[in-house]
Chains A and B, each alone.
Chain A
C-alpha cells in the first residue's frame, strides 16, 4: 500500500451500482393504488389547516379528493394553479413542518395524510402525460418584463406573467435555469433530472425567453433593464456563502457546501465527484443536511455535522436531522470552529470551542440567544470541510443601484415591491421567508400579481 499523501479526497469510492442506488429517489413515488388509498385518508376538512400552512395556499383537500376520484389531471391543475413549481415543492418542501404538520389525522391517527407524496404523484402523472399543458396564455398584452434569476422565485414569476399575456425575458448567470432547484438541493430529492423537466414544462407555456450566462454586475445593467422593460423582477438568490472567519479557511479541502452539492448535481456520474474519507459539515440548515448525507452516500467513511447551537435551533427540521442520522451522519451540537488546522496546504483537522448560552437559558427565538465559549475545546480530524453556515447576498451592486436593504437583503413591501420604482424582488434575496423553495415561489407569484395589475392599470390609463 502506497503512502497516502495529503488529505484523502477522491472520487470512485463505491461500486457503480451503489451510486445508482444511493442517488435514486429517497422517497419512492406512490403507485396508483397507493395514491388512491392514501388519498382516501383525507377528510376534506373545512377551511383546511394544510392549505393555511402552505405559503402558496395549494387547495390540498381538492387535489387529494381528485386523486381519490381518479381525476389526476384535475388534481395536478389544482396544485399547479396555486404553485407552478408544485412538482419540485412536493420533493423538497419540509412538509413535516408545513402542511403535514397541521393535518388533523395527526391528532386522530398519529400520522398525517402523505400530502407531499400525493402532490408529487399528481404532478408527475400530468408531466408524463402526452398533453401536459394545462395553462393557456391570455391574449398578448404588448408588455415586457425582465426577470433576473431563474430560480424558483424567478420561474414562478415569469410563468405567471407569461400566463397573463406579458412577454418575459428570464436572465440567469448559470448555464441552466432552476437556481438552487438545479444547483443546490440534494440529488436524491430530485432524481431523474426533475428540476430541468420542470423548467421545460414551465417554459412550455410560451412567452418566456431564457437567457443564461447573464450576470447582473453593474448599476447600468439594472438601469437598462428598467428602461427596456415595463417591469423588472429580481430573484437573485444569495450569491455568497458566509465565511467561517477563522484561520485556515483557505486550506485545500475546505469547500462551500452549496458548491459541493452543485457539483454533484451537475455530475453525470456521482462516481466522478471527489469526497473526503472523513468529512466535517459545519452548519445546521438544510444545506448542511444535504451535503452531509450526500457525502455519506458518496462513500465517505465518517461524516459529522457540527453546529454551534442545539438541536432545537437547527434550521433543518427534526425530520431532516433524523434522516441524516439514519444515513449514518453524526450530528454534534454546541461546537463552534476556532481554527482549521492544515498540513502541507491541506486541511487535516478543525479545532472547535464548546459553546454555551450566554444567559444560561434558552430564549424563545433561538437566533437571538447569544453564545460564548466555555473554555473547553476539541479537535476533529477531517479530510474535507464543507461550510454550510448560510448564504448572503454579497452583492455590493444592489446598494449602488439604490435598493433599500434590510438585514443584508433587499427590503420589499407586502406586494414584493422594492424601494426602486418598477422593480420587484422575491426569493432568498429578500428579507423575509424561511429560504424555502415554496416561499420563493410564493414571492414570485405575489410580485407577478402586482406587476400584472400595475401593467394593466397603466395600459388602461394609456388607452383613456
Chain B
C-alpha cells in the first residue's frame, strides 16, 4: 500500500487533501463531518479580530458557470470571512483539534494591517492547539475594500511586513495564502519568503463577474438588483493555478518553499498534477461544495492507486517531478517536428479536425479522397500545432507523431536535426548569443 501521509512545514497529515479556508470549514459541525469523511486536514474559515461579527448578504453568495449538462465548470462567491463570534470559533477549533489529533488543523486569519491586531489574535489562535496559521492575503471581494485580503496580497511590501510580524508573534508554521489577481505571482511569493513564511498556499480566487441576465440586462448573481465581482474558482481555474504553482516552485528565489496547491482540484488527477509541479499538500473547496465531503474518498483512492500502479512508495517521490519539464519559451527546441496522424479506424468522420484546420490553422487536413468523405493529414502543410487533436471528439483518434532525427519534414523539405536549437541561438534571432 502506497503511503499518502505528508509532512508540510512540520504539519503532519494522513493524506495531502485539505479543505481550503472557505464555507465548508466554517464551524465545528462541518469540520467534524469532513474528518469523519476522511479529509487529511482543514484550513478553518478565516477568523477576524474580536468585535461585532461581520455581516454577509442574505441573498445569492454563489454563482456558477455550467456546462450544457449542468456540470460545473467554474464557481464564484462573495461570501466574506467568518461571520461568527471569535470566541465561539476559537473554542470549537480547540475542541475539534483535541478530538482529531492526527489531522491537520490550520487556522486562517485576517485582521487589519496593524502589528497589535496580529499580535493579539495570534496568541489566541495558538492557544487552540492548532497546527499552523494561514494568512489570508487573497480574498478578492469585500474584505479588500476594507484594506485586507487581496489588498495586502497585491503589495509585496505589505506581505513581507505582516508575515514578519506573524513570525515574531507565533511559533506556529506560517503559511501565506496568495492572490492570483496580480501580474507576476513570483513577487508576492518572494515577499512572503523574505518575511519568513514557512510556506505559501495558492491560488485564492480570481476577480470575476459570472454573467448578465438577458431578460433584465443586469449582472448576475445580484442582491437587490446590484451585483459585485466575486472570487472565481472551480475546474476552470486549474490551469492558471498550476502555472502559478510551477512559477514559484522553479523560481530560484522561492524554490524549496513548501507550497499548498489550490485551484480547481476535484479529482486525484488534479491533485497529482499540483504535486508533480511542486505542491506538497492540496486544498479543495469547490469539489466538496458540489459533491459533499465524501468526494475525498475518491481522491484518496485514486491517488493511492496511482502511486501503487507506478511503484511509488510515497508522495514525496512524485513531488516536483514534472518541474524540470517546465521552461521558458526561449528554451523550447525549435528543431523538433511533430505531425498529426488520424487513426482511420477510430475516425467517426465528423470533420471537425478538417474545418478547424481549414478555417483557422494551416489547411493541413483533407476532407475527401477520390470523391469520398475522408480526413487525412497533409504532412506537407502540417506544423504539428495540436489543434485537430484538441477538437477531435474521439479520444486517441488523432495523435502527434514526433519525426525521428534524419527524417525529412515534408513541409520544409529538410531533414530533422538531432541537435537542439533554442531561440536564444537561432540564426533568425538578431539578439542570439554570439551574434
- Residue contact A47 to B352, C-beta cutoff 8 Å: no
CB nearest to B355 among chain A residues: A46
Residue of A whose beta carbon sits closest to that of B359 = A46
Contact present for B367 and A108 (CB under 8 Å): no
Neighbouring B residues of A40 by C-beta, 8 Å: 67-69
Q: Is the CB of A104 within 8 A of B349?
A: yes
- Count class of interface residues, chain A: 10 to 19
Bound CA–CA A347/B154 (angstroms):
93
Per-residue CB contact flags for chain A residues 20-63 toward chain B (1 = under 8 Å, else 0) read: 00000000000000001101100111111100000000000000
- B55 nearest CB across to chain A (Å): 36
A68 at the interface (CB under 8 A from B): yes
Chain A min CB distance to B329 (Å): 32
Tell me, rounded to whole Å, the shortest Cβ–Cβ distance linking A121 to chain B. 15
**Within 8 Å CB of A107, what residues of B?**
348-349
Task: Decide yes or no whether B393 CB sits under 8 A from chain A.
Answer: yes
B contact residues around A45 at 8 Å (CB): 349-352
Tell me how many residue pairs across A and B have CB atoms closer than 8 Å. Answer: 37
The number of chain B residues touching the other chain, given as a range, is 10 to 19
Known A-B contacts A43-B393, A46-B354, A46-B367; the reply to A104 vs B348 at CB < 8 A is yes
Given the complex, which residues of A lie within 8 Å of B349, measured CB to CB?
45, 49, 104, 107
With CB as the reference atom, state the residue of chain A lying closest to B349: A104
**Residue from the list B68, B69, B348, B351 in contact with A46, Cβ < 8 A:** B351
Q: Quick check: is B373 within 8 A (CB to CB) of the other chain? A: yes
CB contact list, B341-356 vs A, under 8 A: 348-352, 354-355
- Compute how far the CA of A158 lies from the CA of B75 in the bound complex, rounded to whole angstroms: 52
Give the interface centre of B352, B393, B394 by most chain A CB atoms within 10 Å: B393
Chain B residues with CB below 8 A from A68, complex form: 68
With a CB–CB cut-off of 8 A, which chain A residues contact B350? Answer: 43, 45-46, 104
A36 touches B355 (CB 8 A): no
Contacts of A49 in B (CB 8 A): 349, 373
Inter-subunit contact A47/B367 (CB<8 Å) = yes
Nearest residue, chain B, Cβ from A45: B350
Alpha-carbon distance A164/B355, docked complex (angstroms): 34
CA–CA, A104 and B397, complex, Å: 14
Q: When the two chains form the complex, which single residue of B68, B352, B354, B394 contacts A108, counting CB atoms closer than 8 Å?
A: B394
Known interface pairs A108-B393, A108-B394; A44-B69 also in contact (CB < 8 Å): no
Q: With both chains docked as a complex, state the minimum distance between the C-beta of A80 and any C-beta of chain B, in angstroms.
A: 24
> Once the chains bind, are A36 and B393 in contact (CB under 8 Å)?
no
Find the residue from B68, B352, B354, B355 having the highest chain A CB count within 10 A. Answer: B68
0/1 per residue, B388-406, Cβ < 8 Å to A?
0000011000000000000
Cα separation A45 to B351 with both chains bound (whole Å): 6
Inter-chain contact B69/A47, CB cutoff 8 Å: no
Q: How far is the CA of A107 from the CA of B349 in the complex (A)?
A: 9
Residues of B within 8 A of A48 (CB): 351
**A47 and B367 alpha carbons, distance in the complex (Å):** 9
User: In the complex, what residues of A have CB within 8 A of residue B69's CB?
Assistant: 37, 40
What is the distance, in angstroms, from B119's C-beta to the closest C-beta of chain A? 55
Do residues B348 and A108 form an inter-chain contact, with CB atoms below 8 A?
A: yes
Complex CA gap A104/B68 in Å reads 20
Contact B348–A44 (Cβ < 8 Å): no
Please encode chain A, from 135 to 163, with 1 for each CB lying within 8 Å of some chain B CB and 0 for all others.
Answer: 00000000000000000000000000000
Known: A104-B348, A108-B393. A47 touches B68 (CB 8 A): no
Given contacts A43-B352, A46-B354, A107-B348, 7 further A-B contacts (CB under 8 A): A37-B69, A40-B69, A43-B350, A43-B393, A45-B351, A104-B348, A104-B350
A interface residue numbers (CB < 8 A to B): 36-37, 39-40, 43-49, 68, 104-105, 107-108
9 closest Cβ pairs, A-B complex: A46-B351, A40-B68, A46-B355, A104-B348, A107-B348, A45-B350, A43-B350, A104-B350, A108-B348
What are 21 A-B residue pairs whose CB atoms fall within 8 Å in the complex?
Answer: A36-B68, A37-B68, A40-B68, A40-B69, A43-B350, A43-B352, A43-B393, A45-B349, A45-B352, A46-B350, A46-B351, A46-B352, A46-B354, A46-B367, A47-B367, A49-B349, A68-B68, A104-B348, A104-B349, A107-B349, A108-B393
